[in-house]
Each structure stands twice: as C-alpha cells, then as structure tokens.
Amino acid sequence: MLTTTDFLRWIERCAEVIAANRDYLVELDAAIGDADHGANMDRGFQAVMQKFAQENPAEIGALLKTVAMTLISTVGGAAGPLYGTFFLQMATKLAGKAEISAADWAAALEAAVQGVQQRGKAEAGDKTMIDALLPAVTALRQALSDGVAFSAALKAAAQAAEQGMRETIPLVARKGRASYLGERSAGHQDPGATSSYLLLKAAAEVWAGVE
C-alpha cells in the first residue's frame, strides 16, 4: 500500500530530479522549442515544495490536487496545463484516499495519461510526452497482471517510458511548438517525454521498497 506520506516523498523526489535536470531539459527544448521547459518545470516544482512547507494534506487526492493547481499557476507554456491535467486527473481518481493499492496507482496513472491526451490532442508518435507515458501505462498494467511485485512493475514502467522517450528522437513533431519546425524537428529528443520519464523514474526510485 502507498500512503499520503509515500506520495509526498514522490513529489519531493520529482522536485529534486527536475532541479538536477533543469539545464538538460532547457538544452533539449532549445533545439525544438522555446528553451524554457527545464526552467518552467523547476519553477513549478519548487513552488509545490513551498506549498507543502506551509500545509500538509491529509490524503492523497488533496496532495495531488495541490500539485496540479500549483503547476497550472506557475509553469509556463504548454507544460503547465498538461502536467496540471496529469496530476488533477490522478487526484480525482484517488480522492479521499489515505492509502492505495498497486491497482489504484495503475488506474490513476492511466486516467492521468488519458487526461493529458484529451487536453493536448496528442497520439503516440506525435513526439510529445505521450510517447513516454503510454508505454509506461502499458508496461505497468502488464507487469501487474503478470503478478510481479509493485516495485518491479514501477521499474518496468520507468524503463518503458525511457525507451519511449528515446524513440522520440527520429520522429517529426506533429504537435506543439516543435511541429513548426517540420522535418527539422527530427533528430532531437522531446523535452516533454523526457520530463515525463523523469517523474516516473522518481516514482520507481522512491517506492523501490514497496511490494
């Protein structure tokens, strides 16, 4: 079972990982975007941590809603609404719960990804964060149905997200700022897919001991 404290640890780890990769994300975005993805994401997660320094949500849904609303209000560009939607859909799915099961997490992640797809109108192969998120959901579901430990399923999801992220490199962008470049967007890794992978990797790392 995952508790509210476990989710707080995850968000803290997300903030650390995004901060550590801030310049890398900026570099990726400079090639095909506005060169601000890393700075925007870092600003957003630092604002989230400031919120949690002032308040301590009692249940998982409330915690995730705080993350969502803070990111929406502080992260610029498309990332704010998209990641806000991601965490808001997850919050809705887990509303009122102080602890959840692996199946609950899988359902919440799936709802979050569907929300992002609906918000951004992106499909697999469009060279967006969806290219990391969809494989992660599939891998997580498969691992859990195979009866593996939750920690192993989280690792499988992160690995699938990483592969999906790397597979954005040869793609021609069909959505977002990168799509304006047309064929010139090929050969560059998508920054949104990269930040999505980093968040799922953070979950696998911080929940490594959960069975």
Determine the pLDDT at residue 77. Answer: 83
Dump pLDDT digits (tens) for 98-130: 999 999 999 999 999 999 999 989 999 899 999
> Is 59 a domain residue?
yes
Angle at 81 between CA 196 and CA 76, to 5 degrees: 90
| Residue 202 confidence (pLDDT) above 90 | yes
> Is 149 a domain residue?
yes
What type of residue sits at position 35? A
Q: What tokens does 116 get?
A: 């992002």
pTM for this prediction: 0.95
Determine the pLDDT at residue 56. Answer: 84
| Residue 180 confidence (pLDDT) above 70 | no
Query: How many angstroms separate the CA atoms of 59 and 192, rounded?
Result: 28
> Is 49 a domain residue?
yes
The total domain count for the chain is 1
Mean pLDDT score of the chain: 94
Distance in angstroms between the alpha carbons of the first and the last residue of the chain: 8
> Is 211 a domain residue?
no
Dump pLDDT digits (tens) for 12-43: 999 999 999 999 999 999 998 889 999 999 99
Per DSSP, what are the bridge partners of residue 111?
A: none
| Residue 185 confidence (pLDDT) above 90 | no
Segments forming the whole domain that contains residue 7? 2-206
Residues 77-84, mean pLDDT to the nearest whole number: 92
Determine the pLDDT at residue 82. Answer: 96
DSSP 83-128: HHHHHHHHHHHTTT-SEE-HHHHHHHHHHHHHHHHHHHT--TTSSS
> Is 112 a domain residue?
yes
> Is 103 a domain residue?
yes
Q: What is the longest distance spanned by two Cα atoms in the chain?
A: 48
Determine the pLDDT at residue 76. Answer: 79
> Is 86 a domain residue?
yes
CATH number (domain holding residue 144): 1.25.40.340
| Residue 211 confidence (pLDDT) above 70 | no
> Is 37 a domain residue?
yes
Residues 62-85, mean pLDDT to the nearest whole number: 94
